[in-house]
A and B are shown apart, each in its own frame.
Chain A
Amino acid sequence: MKYLYLSILFFGFFIRANAQPAAPSPCTALGTEARNKLTVVSEGTLNFTLGTLNSFETAQTYSNNIRLNVLSRDSKYRVYVAAELSLAGSPSTAIPMANFQVQTALVGTNPQNRITVSNVTLSGAYQQFVQRTNATNTAGDVFDLTVKLSGMNTYTQAPGNYTLKFHYRLCHY
């Protein structure tokens, strides 16, 4: 019987610790990890603060909030983003995910004609924001992501801290 309890505990913990949105399709994983990986190079501000009336009234832009490196030596690739929002403390109204937009910029002198970037409005499901039609060199591709927050002038969310969790996923296709 104790094995049954251990089993339930294990699977519960695993599912909780590794929760992420359903994988996009197609999403294969070719090659080794050393040759195909997604890396966070650097990060900007970790806090999106709305502290004045004006910050609620106008869109807030957090420029170059995260820099990603994509190494994909074995295949053409796509990169996806999804997000989820959680609230600390008492129940309240969540910030709509559609209030967040991610704008992508390709950094450096990568082959522009092979890479397509797009801006996405966040949701709980993975959305493609980068596509490359061939494999990368050993340096990989670098992208700066800017986060834009707007639509907060409804004042329907209570004061407090909200946690916005980004999921980034590299897929071969």
Chain B
Amino acid sequence: MKNFVRTIIFIGWIMAFIPLVGVAQRYVTRSRTVQLYQVLDVSLNSTSSVFDFSALANYENGIAKPGMITATVKANVPWKLTLTLASNTLSPQITPTPMPSSVIGIKASTASTYTPVQNNAPFFVQNNRGLYTIVFDLRALPGYQYETQEYLGDFYFTVSQQ
């Protein structure tokens, strides 16, 4: 049995060695390292930035702007896109009744309910790595309690790693 195993090993060596010699100079291999660094990027497109309350129906029902903002996220790590504001109150802030930013709601176009825009509980969407285009619907519903005025708010979309 021992001699049999020895014979098998010897034949194996011979069979393995002969082809190796045959291709040694006719086969070469080289390696390269592909280094991927972290990518986190967001860009925005907006169809409009104005809610124009010029009719009674606007006050009654609010104004909805489907697809008002489109964000493109490029990330090779799991990501989170967060919406914050310069202030929880729209400008001008010195008025008898300052308008809170939460009169504006936002949702992904695939979602059903709006989330009030505010810093206390920021609206966010998140997903795994990849290239994403996310369409957001916005709605303004201030009601009647604010004086005639032009109100401004700065929205900040920030992408970060989860």
Among A109-117, A127-135, A149-157, the stretch in contact with B: A149-157
Among B31-39, B86-94, B99-107, B138-146, the stretch in contact with A: B31-39
Q: Looking at the assembled complex, report how far the CB atom of A45 sits from the nearest CB atom of chain B, in whole angstroms.
A: 8
Bound CA span A146–B22, Å: 28
Closest B residue to A166 by CB, please name it.
B30
Flag whether A22 is at the interface (Cβ < 8 A).
no
Bound CA span A7–B4, Å: 12
Question: Which residues from A are CB-within-8-Å of B37?
Answer: 49-52, 159
Contact A56/B27 with A7-B9, A155-B76 known, Cβ cut-off 8 Å: no
Bound CA span A46–B131, Å: 28
Q: Looking at the assembled complex, report how far the CB atom of A19 sits from the nearest CB atom of chain B, in whole angstroms.
A: 10
A-contact 0/1 string along B35-71, CB 8 Å cutoff: 1111101000000000000000000000000000000
Bound CA span A51–B37, Å: 5
Flag whether A165 is at the interface (Cβ < 8 A).
yes
Question: Which residues from B are CB-within-8-Å of A43?
Answer: 30
A-B contact count (CB 8 A): 139
Contact A155/B130 with A147-B32, A164-B31 known, Cβ cut-off 8 Å: yes
Bound CA span A46–B34, Å: 9
Q: Looking at the assembled complex, report how far the CB atom of B8 sits from the nearest CB atom of chain A, in whole angstroms.
A: 7
Flag whether A95 is at the interface (Cβ < 8 A).
yes
Question: Which residues from A are CB-within-8-Å of B23?
Answer: 29, 169
Contact A53/B74 with A158-B129, A166-B31 known, Cβ cut-off 8 Å: yes
Flag whether A160 is at the interface (Cβ < 8 A).
yes
Q: Would you call A38 and B25 a contact (CB within 8 A)? A: yes
Which size class do A's interface residues fall under? 35 or more
Q: Would you call B28 and A168 a contact (CB within 8 A)? A: yes
Question: Which residues from A are CB-within-8-Å of B28?
Answer: 38-40, 68, 167-168
Question: Which residues from B are CB-within-8-Å of A164?
Answer: 31-34
Question: Which residues from B are CB-within-8-Å of A163?
Answer: 31-34
Bound CA span A33–B25, Å: 6
Q: Would you call B34 and A11 a contact (CB within 8 A)? A: no
Closest A residue to B78 by CB, please name it.
A158
Q: Looking at the assembled complex, report how far the CB atom of A130 sits from the nearest CB atom of chain B, in whole angstroms.
A: 13
Flag whether B16 is at the interface (Cβ < 8 A).
yes
Q: Would you call A46 and B39 a contact (CB within 8 A)? A: no
Flag whether A66 is at the interface (Cβ < 8 A).
yes
Question: Which residues from A are CB-within-8-Å of B9?
Answer: 3, 6-7, 10
Q: Would you call A37 and B74 a contact (CB within 8 A)? A: no
Q: Would you call A168 and B27 a contact (CB within 8 A)? A: yes
Flag whether B20 is at the interface (Cβ < 8 A).
yes
Pull 10 A–B residue pairs with CB atoms less than 8 Å apart, ordered by A: A6-B9, A18-B20, A37-B26, A49-B37, A52-B37, A153-B74, A154-B131, A167-B29, A168-B28, A170-B27
